[in-house]
Amino acid sequence: MKKAIIGSIVGAIIIFIWQFLSFGLINFHKAAQDYTDKQDAIMGFLNSQGLKEGGYYMPSAPATASSEQMKAAMKASDGKPWARIEYHNSAANNTNAMVMNMIRGFLVNVVILLLFCWVIAKMAAPRFGTILASAVAVGLIAFLNEPYTGFIWYKTFDIWAYFFDAIVSWGLTGIWLGWWLSRGRPAMSTVRIGEREKELA
């Protein structure tokens, strides 16, 4: 248990550092959060509309529309510009909010790594290569489930950044855990293999 906790904390730090580099210092995700000099005009217009906080897809039909009205709206919007808006009434860019978000993000990483270590612990005799391959597979599963599935519908602009995140962060974490979790752990013994053969006989 101690080994899994240490492995998870260090692994969480690796992923956390990569997330900071990817979303902050290097900013691979710039394409999805770019700057426009029209921001004041756009925000001013949105603020003047009395929007309630929430996510909006435009153009779309209201939830009360009939199926015929929805089909007509889809046909009318085909080939025309569209947008998704995540509208919030108040920004929380103060130091306390930033610190809390970072703490929550790190704790989530720890939980993810604990779950991954639990899966590895269920393997009979995981070696370095198996753990590394499993880590990369988990990264790809996370990427394909979301954000790639979302990209299929909404064409987000930083999809390749997310792919790079999955491969690099989970690859580095897999290298760490592959060394740490398999260190001092013998391969499946011939005695256990012999016992298994007797059971199957």
Amino acid letter, 42: I
DSSP state of 25: I
- Of 144, 138, 122, 123, nearest to 170 (Cα)? 138
Residues of the chain with pLDDT under 50: 188-197, 199-201
- At 190 the pLDDT is 39
Q: Output the pTM of the full model.
A: 0.84
How many CB atoms are located within 10 Å of the residue 58 CB?
Answer: 10
- At 1 the pLDDT is 84
Supply 119's token pair: 């899966």
- At 92 the pLDDT is 86
Residue 57's beta-bridge partner residues? 84
Quick check: 157 and 32 in contact, CB under 8 A?
A: yes
User: Angle at Cα 37 formed by Cα 33 and Cα 39, nearest 5°?
Assistant: 65
How many CB atoms are located within 10 Å of the residue 15 CB?
Answer: 23
- At 37 the pLDDT is 97
Q: What is the pLDDT of residues 104-127, one digit of tens each?
A: 999 999 999 999 999 999 998 899
- At 188 the pLDDT is 45
Q: In whole angstroms, what is the distance from residue 47 CA to residue 54 CA?
A: 13
